[in-house]
Structure formats: C-alpha cells, structure tokens
Amino acid sequence: MQQRTDHQVPVLVVGGSLVGLSMSLFLGRLGVRHMLVERHSGTSIHPRGRGNNVRTMELFRRAGIEPDIKAAASLLADNHGILQTPTLVGDAGEWLFKEIDPGGGLARFSPTGWCLCSQNDLEPVLRRAAESLTGELRYFHEMESFEQGPEGVTAYVRDRDSDRMYTVRADYLVAADGPRSPVRGRLGIGQEGPGDLFANVSITFRSKLLQNTVGDRRFICCYLTDPEADGALLPVDNKERWVFHAPWHPERGETLDEFTEERLTRHIRRAVGVPGLDVEITGRASWRAAERVAERYSSGRVFLAGDSAHEMSPTGAFGSNTGIQDAHNLAWKLAAVLDGWAGPGLLDSYDAERRPVAHATSARASARSVEHSHPGFAPAPGIGAGKRGGILNIVLGYRYPKGAVIGADPEHPLVPDGMNLTGQPGSRAPHLWVRREGQRVSTLDLYERSLVLLSDADSAGGAAWHAAARRIADTERLRLDTYRVGAAGSAADLVYDAEGGDWAAAHGTTADGAVLVRPDGFVAWRSEGAVPDPEGELREVLARVLRRR
C-alpha cells in the first residue's frame, strides 16, 4: 500500500513554468502560504519566450527582482529590433522596427522598460525569489486528479521520483498547466477562437562563424525569407549559440521525423546564405501557434491562468506576458479574500477583467504575425485582420470596463488607439516620480500589498479624504494606505521629485479630489473633487470594489 501524506494550504498552484512561478512569487510577496507542483524536474532549459514587456517588468520591479532579471539578460541587453531579409549576406532586407523605444518616449509612462530575457534564464530568477517566500515548490510532482466542493479543493498528487501519492487540501486551485490543460479539460471548459494557426520546429544550434555574417546587426529576431528555406533566427549569446524556427506543415502530412540533422543543417545554411556555415545541432522541439481563449476563467474554486486560459501567436511575446499579468491580477484578489478584507465575490472580477484582455491581445498577436509574415503562417481570411501598428497601447493601455472598478466608461474601448493613462477608473494608474522619506520612487512602486488612496497635501478637500481614509484603515479590517502628495515643505507624504509635477492633473482630478488605486496598480475609483461626506463615500466605494456585502 502506498504511503499517503496529507497537506493543507490556502492555494495550490499547478504548473511551474513562467506563469506558475510568477503566481508563486506574487502570492509569496503578499504573505499567502501555498504549494506549487510541477511535473518536470526543473525549470526550462530551452531559450524561448524571451520578450518581457514593460507592464510585466513593472510587476517584477515591484516584486524586487528587476535587477536580477537584467543581470540574467545581460548577454542580449544590446539587441533591439526585428530584421526581415532574404539572406544575411550583404545589406539586403529591411528593419520592421529597429528600436523598441525610439527616442526614449516610454519614460513618460513607466519607471522601467522592455527586457529581453529568455525563459531558461528568467525562470531560475523567479524560482529563487519564490522559494525565499511563503511557497513550497515541488518539482517532479504531478497532480493526477482533483475534486472540489463548496469549502475547498482536494488534489491527488504523485511524487514522480518515489511514485508515492498524497493529497493536498486547498481553499483554491490555480491551474497554470499549459495549453493542453488537464485541469481545464476536467472542468469541461471550452475554448473560443480560430484555433491552430501554424507550426514550427525550433532548433538550437552552435555556429562560431555565424557572428561574422550577422556583423553588428543586433536584432531580437531576424525573419529570413528565402522561399526554399524561410525561418526565424534568434541570437542566444550573439557569438555561437543560436535558435532557428523552421516551418513545419503537419497539415500536409509532414512528420517530425523528416526534420533530420542533415535537413536542418542544409535549411539553416541556405536561409542564412552561407553554404559552408558551421552548424552543430544541439536540440530540437516542435510547437504550434494558436489563437484560443477559454470560455470562462474559473469554475467554483478553480482558476485558469496563462496558456491554460489563452493561447496566442508568439509574435510580440504577448502570451507569456498576458499570463504573468493574469497571475498578478488574481494573486491580490486571492490574498484579500483569504485574509478576510474582501468578500469572495471579488474573485468573480478575475474573469470579467482578464478574459476580454486575452481576446483583444490574442487577436493583436495574430495581426502581428501577419505583419511580420511569420514563417509557416498562411492565415485564413479574417485571421489577423485586427488593428496594425504600434503595440504599446495594448501592452500598457488596456483597461477594465467592468470588474472591481467603479466609474469606468463601458463605452470606452478596451484597448484605446493611443496612450492616455490619466487616472481613468479601470486603467493602469499613471507613473509619477516622487520622493518618499527622501527616496526617489515611482507612484507605481506604492501599489502591491494594499489599496492606496492618493490626495492633495495642501487642499482642504485633500485633507478630508486623507483623514477619512485613516479612520477607515484604523477601524476596518482591510488594507488601505493613504498618501498626501505635494511640494517640499508641505504636509506631503509623497514629495514631487526635482522635475516637479501635478499629481491631480496626472490622475484626472482637482486638488480637492482623490484616487483609489488597487494593489495591482489599476485605478479602482476616483472623485474629481470634494464631497459632503468623504468617509461615507469612501466606505461605500470600498464595499463595492471589494464585494464586502
């Protein structure tokens, strides 16, 4: 008879890739005890999923690991842009874009920026950070089944090393178990969208001479367009380690066995344009791009995150970033409900907020693949027909028209045409440099463990909002911080940095108004001016946002 070991945790996370590890990190930062089980024996060994967008980096900055990620990404720190060319020999081809942030305009919106860090380099950083907190991470452990009731979830997990089975009892289960999610399948949750888009074979290889052909072109990715040998070339270290994505057509009966080392070597040489190029194949993995979104993100006490909730074309690295942001959205809500300062109904807002974002983002990812003529992608009519052009608005400017927000305009587009982060409810709060106790911080650095109320340091209305928030924080069982913003020499808790500023104008209020920001940095509500009963108003707002009744 197999030995049976029982465990009880508030949250069980299934899947330990980028999204599962991020969920563990975010839960740990919020003090939520949890367990993560991952069927593989360790973190990813394949250089993929390298694009971490500015919103994701804001989350990692707040979690304290931005310096570690940049250190892990140092080999590719100077790589920018996407090149498209028939061959790397000579000067043919064109840059689809040459700089991620031309002119440095992103600094207006964020304290951080994009970072090129491959999954095999990023996951160890996440794992180390997560293991130092409140989570227990179990690799080579696989959840085989689960059942749930009104009070919680019981999971049956197998230790793949010893083959022992044990049970884990959790209040909530988060499934970050990939695009073929067994959890989603067991819940009977269907998917919406066009489905499979194209397939590639990803080849890792060594070539010492390729850097001579590449020269000083430090690209993120190069699309090579020879009709007989198209593909995408990605540098791993800019010297001798590379990745090549070759088209694979299983719909034509093509099998993976046909991708022999000889064929792959010949393909890479022709694509690059150097017949005698030294090519040493070190690995091969197949993958399929798809556009699908789950019909719902939860069932009872079980939630989907990452690829189990949505699949996207890889162009633009939207998928992993959307999944990490799923985890961040869900983590603070789980923490608030488990800690008792929000009602269980708050968790319903996870689907209401994140699923529409996945639909919009997956459509944009497909459109990006069409724009870039991704190798192997021959889109059916209508697929990838969404808006073209820049992507910052969908990366940073998306908003939640409904969910745990009050006052969002339901007629406003989910993804605006431009960047207008000025404190509208449902949007990511504005970035403003301030000094707190002498230290320079972004206002975005304030948002993680609690709700935050911002008000003016010099106005009577601001003082009333601040006093009301202090009374509520002292008498109610909830996490609420309150900061007065103003110039040096005032009663400000947050003092304008040397460049100055106007927090009220930046957040769309007057000096007598107030802004309530959620732990994930999204504006929950704002008042443009003073009200007769600020404490009563704020209590009502908090009750509605947190589903406290």
CA dist 295 and 188 (Å) reads 10
CA dist 430 and 428 (Å) reads 7
Using an 8 Å Cβ cutoff, are 397 and 419 in contact?
yes
pLDDT of 541 over the 70 cut: yes
Using an 8 Å Cβ cutoff, are 457 and 492 in contact?
yes
Specify the pLDDT at position 159: 96
CA dist 70 and 122 (Å) reads 9
* 299-310 mean pLDDT: 98
Give kind and range of the element (H or E) at residue 336. helix 318-338
Residue 389: pLDDT band by 50, 70, 90 thresholds?
low
pLDDT digits (tens, 9 = 90+) for 146-199: 999 999 999 999 999 999 999 999 999 999 999 999 999 999 999 999 999 999
SS3 call for 170: strand
Show Cβ contacts of residue 410 under 8 Å, excluding neighbours closer than 6 positions: 401, 402
Using an 8 Å Cβ cutoff, are 21 and 182 in contact?
no
Specify the pLDDT at position 45: 83
Domains delineated in the chain:
6-78+112-188+292-396 (3.50.50.60), 193-290 (3.30.9.10), 433-545 (3.40.30.120)
CA distances from 149 to 120, 253, 290, 508 (A): 37, 45, 33, 45
Q: Among positive and negative, which fits the CA dihedral 11, 472, 428, 436?
A: negative
Residue among 363, 292, 16 at smallest CA distance from 177 = 16
Q: How many residues does the chain have?
A: 549
Three-class secondary structure assignment of 91-155? CCCEEEECCCCHHHHHHHCCCCCCEECCHHHHHHHHHHHHHCCCEEEEECEEEEEEEEECCEEEE
CA dist 424 and 453 (Å) reads 14
State the burial class of residue 244 (Cβ atoms within 10 Å of its Cβ: 0-12, 13-18, 19+): buried
Residue 3: pLDDT band by 50, 70, 90 thresholds?
very low
CA dist 101 and 444 (Å) reads 20
pLDDT of 95 over the 90 cut: yes
Identify the residue with better confidence: 378 or 173: 173
State the burial class of residue 292 (Cβ atoms within 10 Å of its Cβ: 0-12, 13-18, 19+): buried
DSSP secondary structure of 399-460: B-SSSS-SS--TTS-SS-SS---S--TTBBPPP-EEEETTEEEEGGGG-SSSEEEEEESSSH
Residue 386: pLDDT band by 50, 70, 90 thresholds?
low
Specify the pLDDT at position 48: 77
Specify the pLDDT at position 2: 43
* 102-123 mean pLDDT: 92
pLDDT digits (tens, 9 = 90+) for 333-366: 999 999 999 999 999 999 999 999 999 999 998 8
- Of 330-339, 366-375, 428-437, 453-462, the range with the lowest mean pLDDT is 366-375
pLDDT digits (tens, 9 = 90+) for 200-246: 999 999 999 999 999 999 999 999 999 999 999 999 999 999 999 99
Token pair 């028939």 is found at 86
pLDDT digits (tens, 9 = 90+) for 7-57: 999 999 999 999 999 999 999 999 999 999 999 999 988 877 788 999 999
pLDDT of 390 over the 90 cut: no
pLDDT digits (tens, 9 = 90+) for 59-79: 999 999 999 999 999 999 999
Show Cβ contacts of residue 443 under 8 Å, excluding neighbours closer than 6 positions: 429, 430, 431, 432, 433, 434, 454, 494, 503
> Parallel, antiparallel, or unpaired for β 164-175 and 302-304?
parallel
Using an 8 Å Cβ cutoff, are 199 and 289 in contact?
yes
* 379-403 mean pLDDT: 79
